[in-house]
């Protein structure tokens, strides 16, 4: 990334009204106006973007699989002249979405078979995922739930709040409820408040979470009234979804600030996407900019094996490379956990660079972010014999810990030999 691009990514700017100059300021700041004027068809794109052949075909076929929908606010972040624009790649359909790789799955996270009642996914012992709507402010082209969201998927999302609440009342092991969908923040204040109140009335539910991309796609929705309502239900946490630093605008920073001022802890979940954020420099700017918005980078997801997403997926090695370039090179608060959702319902599996170079009977050999090698004395397991005395900590110098693994295992060091 060049210095100019880096600076531009770090700045908080506003996309303005762009292609909608006729809107009054009151209309532009009205989230329901934004939803009514969502970009949904080829006609809506005319005069705004010069589509590539792949995009033109993708837009024509979009409503047979996952609808196109982009709020005017978010649409103005798209570079109309760059088909590789990272915002554009996330929300403009492409014909590649109709090509399925052999590993692609309709339900890559296996949610359907862990759904004891409609809309409620109970996979982990003490927490549930509560799907409360099938609509989003805009539709990500890599959506894990494309089979059920937007109204044109291959399945219809069946919802039954009463049965879900009854299930939660009965299952006292559940202490954590995550509201998602679709996007829970598209519910009206009244309907969302009623649902949160019913959940908070269940004694064994200790805290609530909301997963939402609305603060990014539709920051106008984060009104003072909404924040005041949410504040009633603490402890309440929120996970937002930002993939590229350009998404963090003045409007988004202010919306996130209102949520933070309401006492809601904020975390971010990014999806690793080819041509969007598969660059360590871009990701570093993103996570640092998130902290400036009072958002803790939480997860970096390997893109799920959703049907038609192979053109957006990256090798796992790219995710590991990004974590390597973050760890030690920026604040620890800025480093997310890289995870892969086990295909078919395995849940989130953390994936980390290998910082343990070798395990010996009385110590482990570690490398730091610069590749320097250190020995840390281990202790005996409970009931076991104490390890032999270990010399004082040493900084062990050699070039490549991977190439030297055999040498380490045999206890032969370039920086001296252990007797």
Q: What phi and psi, each to the nearest 5 degrees, are found at residue 332?
A: -60, -35
Copy the structure tokens of residue 113. Answer: 């078979």
Q: 10 Å Cβ neighbour count for 52?
A: 15
The answer to whether the bond into 182 is cis (omega within 30° of 0) is yes
The answer to whether the CB of 90 falls within 8 A of the CB of 140 is: yes
Residue 147 tokens, joined:
């089979």
Give the residue numbers annotated as catalytic, written as ranges.
123-124, 127, 136, 140, 143, 145, 304, 341, 348
Pairing of strands 120-121, 363-367: unpaired
CA angle 212, 216, 217 (to 5 degrees): 90
| Other beta carbons less than 10 A from residue 191's beta carbon | 14
Structure tokens belonging to residue 62: 């979009």
Q: How many CB atoms lie within 10 A of CB 157?
A: 20
Residue whose structure tokens are 């309440």: 236
Q: Is the peptide bond before 126 cis (omega within 30 degrees of 0)?
A: no
CA angle, 238 as apex, 235 and 244 as ends, to 5°?
A: 160
CA distance 118 to 132: 10
The runs of H, that is alpha helices, within 171-315 are 189-200, 214-217, 224-230, 250-261, 280-292
Measured CA to CA, the distance from residue 290 to residue 357 in angstroms comes to 32
Cα of first residue to Cα of last residue in the chain, in angstroms, is 48
Alpha carbons 282 and 274: distance in angstroms, whole number: 12
- Are 87 and 73 in contact by the 8 Å Cβ rule? The answer is no
Integer Cα distance of 24 and 31 in angstroms: 13
- 143 touches 217 (CB < 8 A): no
Per-residue CA distances from 165 to 116, 118, 208 (Å): 12, 11, 14
Q: How would you class 21 by CB atoms within 10 Å of its CB: exposed for 0-12, middle for 13-18, buried for 19 or more?
A: exposed
């Amino acid at each position: 990334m060049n210095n100019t691009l880096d600076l531009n990514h770090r700045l908080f700017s506003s996309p303005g009204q762009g292609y909608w100059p006729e809107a009054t300021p009151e209309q532009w700041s009205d989230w329901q106006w934004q939803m009514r004027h969502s970009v949904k068809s080829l006609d809506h794109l005319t005069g705004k973007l010069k589509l590539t052949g792949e995009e033109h075909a993708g837009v024509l076929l979009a409503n047979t699989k996952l609808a196109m929908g982009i709020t005017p606010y978010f649409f103005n972040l798209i570079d109309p002249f760059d088909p590789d624009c990272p915002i554009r790649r996330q929300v403009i359909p492409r014909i590649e979405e109709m090509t399925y790789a052999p590993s692609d799955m309709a339900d890559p996270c296996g949610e359907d078979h862990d759904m004891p009642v409609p809309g409620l996914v109970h996979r982990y012992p003490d927490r549930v995922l509560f799907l409360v709507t099938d609509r989003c402010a805009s539709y990500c082209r890599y959506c894990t739930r494309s089979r059920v969201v937007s109204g044109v998927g291959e399945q219809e999302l069946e919802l039954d709040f009463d049965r879900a609440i009854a299930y939660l009342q009965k299952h006292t092991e559940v202490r954590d409820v995550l509201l998602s969908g679709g996007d829970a923040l598209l519910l009206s204040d009244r309907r969302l408040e009623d649902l949160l109140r019913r959940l908070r009335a269940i004694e064994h539910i200790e805290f609530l979470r909301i997963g939402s991309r609305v603060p990014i796609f539709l920051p106008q929705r984060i009104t003072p009234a909404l924040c005041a309502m949410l504040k009633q239900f603490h402890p309440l946490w929120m996970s937002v979804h930002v993939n590229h630093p350009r998404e963090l605008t003045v409007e988004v920073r202010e919306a996130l600030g209102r949520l933070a001022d309401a006492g809601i802890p904020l975390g971010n979940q990014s999806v690793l996407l080819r041509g969007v954020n598969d660059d360590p420099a871009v990701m570093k700017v993103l996570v640092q900019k998130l902290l400036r918005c009072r958002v803790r980078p939480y997860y970096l997801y390997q893109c799920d094996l959703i049907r038609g997403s192979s053109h957006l997926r990256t090798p796992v090695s790219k995710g590991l490379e990004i974590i390597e370039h973050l760890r030690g090179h920026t604040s620890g608060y800025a480093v997310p956990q890289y995870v892969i959702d086990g295909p078919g319902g395995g849940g989130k599996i953390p994936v980390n660079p290998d910082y343990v170079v070798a395990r010996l009977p009385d110590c482990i050999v570690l490398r730091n972010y610069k590749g320097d090698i250190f020995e840390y004395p281990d202790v005996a397991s409970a009931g076991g014999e104490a390890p032999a005395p270990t010399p004082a900590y040493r900084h062990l110098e050699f070039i490549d810990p991977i190439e030297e693994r055999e040498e380490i295992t045999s206890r032969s060091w370039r920086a001296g030999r252990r007797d």
